[in-house]
């Protein structure tokens, strides 16, 4: 039996205002080559200047990954020729990265946790983008992306299953979103993942030859590519062939060879002469540590153990920070945690999906929703009316009072208990045989009586209250 050994390299594009060594704006989807300066193009006589915001983002992520943060680090030049690399080299980190030796405990679907070590976290610049589909004959180049700050997070080869790999990637995506340093959008490439995978016989302590898989543009693609590549390598080994050290790409169905791996020496790394080494005072690192928001793992634990949410509910709410924040805001407004979770994961998500809106842009302030929820709790309106009738109107006009909408739509439940008792008495009087049958033990008839009373009220009587009163009367 073989087991897979996997280590992931994850790149997160930093959502800072400016690029990491150049002044132009960080953008996505803009007209090509609008946000390009002479620095990013490597014109002679230009010099890079390190963007402090990028360093801080990298340090915050390093801290969130439990890494040791370097109080002194420097950049290196990685030299290679490629059309999307106008300078002919990439400024990156090699011997002295910003952070090392972290760890994460990823949460698996079955509820267990698995440790994945973080080898290093480094700051570097992105390349431009080759556009293969804009012109029938030529590949075009867009340098808007060239020079945008990236952090690369390199894991130890501690991953053993596709599920662990997917959970690890989801964990990183959650973290960068919570820290607000990257939107984690894999389709748009702001979060990218390369997977290194090798095989060994179960029980072996040494590693086999690894293959690197590129272009994994979703979490599920990562899982599928690892399954496929595992099967491919097993077959090679069983046939007595060797696994080649190569870079492959995932085409959606299979992994196909891209190129044989260059050795590290080919890049002729050397310390970047245009940038001085960076000193990061310990006090500054402490400040950044103190500024970290509550991290998703801690929030998840709190939601499950203190607030009593299910694992599924808490997982959904910690997927991205705006959900968690909305939840916490509702809790502060005294909404019961279970109720808050079911509104967010139910009605709100349904609305966001239907409108293709992100949670950040959800228009209804938590106070308004809390008012609506309290009207349900106080039995002024039914949950169905709140969810299906008032909620959509409230989202469309968040400045309106839920109570006004309820009045206008005539959705207020009957508060008059005397009137309710009259109807109940009428219904019971009209159905003497059914009352007899009920009294003999056919308690299923309760629903029938409730239905009759609610109908008589024109839908205004609260079914739960009616049920309680009838049961009391017939007891």
Q: What does the binding site for ligand ADP look like in residue numbers (CB under 6 A)?
A: 5-9, 154-157, 196-198, 207, 210
Nearer to Mg ion by C-beta: 64 or 121?
Answer: 121
- The C-alpha atoms of residue 300 and residue 116 are separated, in whole angstroms, by 19
C-beta of 300: minimal distance to ligand ADP in Å?
Answer: 25
Binders in 2-21 for Mg ion, by CB under 5 A: 9
Q: Which residues, at least 6 apart from 148, have a Cβ–Cβ distance to it below 8 Å?
A: 13, 14, 19, 20, 26, 125, 126
Nearer to Mg ion by C-beta: 9 or 389?
Answer: 9
C-beta of 264: minimal distance to Mg ion in Å?
Answer: 9
Nearer to Mg ion by C-beta: 24 or 126?
Answer: 126
The count of other CB atoms within 10 Å of the CB of residue 11 is 17
Partner touching 156 among ligand ADP, Mg ion, none, CB below 5 to 8 Å by kind: ligand ADP
C-beta of 226: minimal distance to Mg ion in Å?
Answer: 18
The count of other CB atoms within 10 Å of the CB of residue 435 is 18
Nearer to ligand ADP by C-beta: 23 or 66?
Answer: 66
Nearer to ligand ADP by C-beta: 86 or 157?
Answer: 157
The stretch near Mg ion (CB under 5 A) out of 1-9, 156-164, 175-183, 403-411 is: 1-9
Nearer to ligand ADP by C-beta: 13 or 315?
Answer: 13
For 431, the token pair is 């159905």
When CB distances to ligand ADP are compared, the closest residue is 7
Partner touching 157 among ligand ADP, Mg ion, none, CB below 5 to 8 Å by kind: ligand ADP
Nearer to ligand ADP by C-beta: 125 or 183?
Answer: 125
Please give the C-alpha separations between residue 449 and each of 94, 360, 385, 452, 466, in angstroms, as whole numbers. Answer: 77, 46, 22, 5, 9
* Measured CA angle at 139 (ends 185, 250), to 5 deg: 45
The beta strand positions in 241-328, using DSSP E, are: 246-250, 255-260, 270-271, 278-279
Partner touching 414 among ligand ADP, Mg ion, none, CB below 5 to 8 Å by kind: none
Binders in 21-60 for Mg ion, by CB under 5 A: none
C-beta of 78: minimal distance to ligand ADP in Å?
Answer: 9
Q: Which residues, at least 6 apart from 283, have a Cβ–Cβ distance to it below 8 Å?
A: none
C-beta of 90: minimal distance to ligand ADP in Å?
Answer: 12
C-beta of 350: minimal distance to ligand ADP in Å?
Answer: 39
Nearer to Mg ion by C-beta: 3 or 9?
Answer: 9
Instruction: Report which of 470, 466, 379, 387 is spatially closest to residue 431, judged by C-alpha positions.
Output: 470
Our measurement of the distance from residue 403's CA atom to the centroid of its chain's CA atoms, rounded to an integer in Å, reads 35
C-beta of 120: minimal distance to Mg ion in Å?
Answer: 10
Q: Are 399 and 393 in contact (CB under 8 A)?
A: no
- The C-alpha atoms of residue 284 and residue 111 are separated, in whole angstroms, by 37
Partner touching 217 among Mg ion, ligand ADP, none, CB below 5 to 8 Å by kind: none
- The C-alpha atoms of residue 203 and residue 117 are separated, in whole angstroms, by 20
Q: Is 56 left (phi over 0), alpha (psi -120 to 50) or beta?
A: alpha
**Residues of this chain that bind Mg ion (CB under 5 A):** 9
């Amino acid at each position: 039996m073989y087991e897979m050994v996997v280590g992931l390299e994850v790149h997160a594009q930093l959502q800072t205002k400016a690029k990491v060594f150049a002044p132009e704006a960080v953008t996505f989807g803009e007209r090509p080559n609008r946000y390009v300066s002479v620095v990013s193009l490597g014109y002679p006589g230009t010099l890079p200047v390190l963007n402090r915001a990028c360093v801080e983002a990298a340090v915050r992520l390093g801290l969130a990954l439990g890494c040791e943060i370097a109080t002194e680090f420097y950049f290196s030049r990685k030299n290679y020729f490629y059309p999307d690399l106008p300078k002919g080299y990439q400024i990156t980190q090699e011997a002295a990265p910003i952070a090392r030796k972290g760890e994460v405990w990823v949460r698996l679907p079955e509820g267990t946790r698995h440790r994945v070590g973080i080898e290093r976290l480094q700051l570097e610049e992105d390349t431009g983008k080759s556009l293969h589909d804009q012109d029938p004959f030529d590949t075009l180049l867009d340098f808007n992306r060239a020079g945008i700050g990236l952090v690369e997070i390199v894991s130890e080869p501690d991953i053993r299953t596709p599920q662990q790999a997917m959970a690890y990637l989801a964990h990183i995506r959650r973290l960068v979103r919570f820290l607000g340093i990257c939107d984690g959008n894999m389709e748009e490439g702001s979060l990218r993942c390369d997977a290194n995978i090798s095989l060994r016989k179960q029980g072996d302590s040494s590693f086999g030859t690894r293959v690197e898989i590129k272009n994994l543009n979703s979490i599920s693609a990562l899982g599928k590519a690892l399954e496929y590549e595992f099967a491919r390598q097993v077959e090679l080994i069983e046939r007595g062939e060797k696994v080649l050290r190569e870079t492959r790409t995932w085409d959606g169905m299979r992994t196909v060879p891209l190129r044989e791996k260059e050795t590290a020496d080919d890049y002729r790394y050397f310390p970047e002469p245009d940038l001085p080494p960076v000193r990061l005072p310990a006090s500054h690192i402490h400040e950044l540590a103190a500024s970290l928001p509550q991290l998703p793992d801690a929030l998840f634990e709190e939601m499950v153990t203190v607030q009593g949410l299910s694992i599924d509910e808490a997982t959904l709410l910690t997927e991205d920070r705006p959900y968690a924040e909305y939840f916490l805001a509702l809790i502060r407004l005294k909404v019961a945690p279970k109720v808050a979770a079911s509104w967010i994961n139910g009605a709100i998500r349904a609305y966001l999906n239907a409108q293709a809106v992100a949670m950040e842009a959800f228009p209804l302030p938590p106070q308004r929703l809390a008012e609506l929820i309290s009207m349900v709790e106080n039995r002024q309106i039914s949950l169905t009316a709140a969810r299906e009738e008032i909620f959509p109107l409230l989202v469309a006009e968040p400045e309106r009072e839920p109570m006004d909408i309820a009045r206008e739509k005539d959705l207020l439940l009957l508060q008059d208990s005397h009137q309710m008792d009259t109807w109940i008495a009428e219904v019971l009087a009209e159905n003497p045989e059914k009352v007899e049958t009920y009294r003999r033990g056919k308690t299923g008839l309760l629903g029938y009586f409730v239905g009759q009373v609610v109908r008589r009220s024109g839908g205004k009587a609260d079914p739960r209250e009616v049920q309680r009163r009838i049961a009391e009367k017939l007891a």
